[in-house]
Structure 1
């Protein structure tokens, strides 16, 4: 389908200019996994519909890392001092003020291969309360010290410890002070149950921890999860950007 036909199919999205539609298209994860990844409690969901006035924004991420984000409104704002650069996955798309929603939905379908059904917007769906995406590791009081629950630390699995024991891997964690810690344990501990001889190392994995909090950084203890570095260290200070998830309870390993 050519681009113009794709945009025309989403003309319904621009009929009410006061309403913006917010949703994510996620591949390769279950609904509960997505809820937990955004810091929600999958067990505390309730059924609701969604309609919200909001700023326009288009974002794309692979493996939890954002590789492009822009506001299509700014592309048509003649008074803007500078216009955003389009990421590779949005190249060749022209945005127009009167069809911003339709063009955004068309871009979603072109990128993710999933047609957007307008019925989704009026259907009662599982709804959970999430932490602010601008402050993903801050608690209700706004400070790091109020963070509770379980978080996932980004680490890098570097090798199998012994091919005779394919479940055991060596993982490296770099903290906020530049220190590198080596942790050896079973693959499932690092969110990598499939790690084995066929794995192409290095590969990013995650490690469960419990935040205790410090100003500006996050202090994470892995002691409650019975994991420690080779020298016995089980408490690390890391940057908020090293955290993949903030949740209210243990995640399955």
Structure 2
């Protein structure tokens, strides 16, 4: 997708380019999807209990990493109904090569609502109601019977489901950025309280989606815009190394092209 973007952007002969620069001051590291795969599968293989993973589901590459990992480990990848919505949309784009939410490798975890008895009347959200007849729906009680057969994608904000999953002594792969502001630090602490309560092993396994400095320079030079507007960066002056004009952006100021 990145290569497609570069080609299309260059062909459009842009007069301006707005670009992020989170890692403009950093060079390449050993971070990669392959490393996320290797580090995560190593930890999950050690544990014979439930595997829990969390990642940004809008990151198709990261989804693919854990989807392939679940297949290699002979575990079913358990997702939520919201995840199913994303997956079905991805599946329509053949370039992404992602499975449908009803793929044989995937299970959809049915949450408890209202009566807690899983009756259809308990579900009022449209995205759940329209999928209640899917053949690959699974309950927490089913997972508890054979936890080693499953890899559950579970975001912190749905950790209340741990009560039903009973994941004592399991492994949790946190494939997201570590906290970088006060609000995130508070959530991070609360997350660890949940994990400690169930004696779940925490594993950080992530690679940044932000491009490093040298690669970003090459990308911009290849696209060759007439002017660059760096945003989302603490080092906008580093963009002045580029051959094209760099406009340092000021807050609340209008720029005309």
Structure 1 length normalisation: TM-score? 0.22
Higher relative strand content: 1
Give the TM-score taking structure 2 as reference length: 0.22
Higher helix proportion: 2
Structure with larger RCO (C-alpha < 8 A, sep 6+): 2
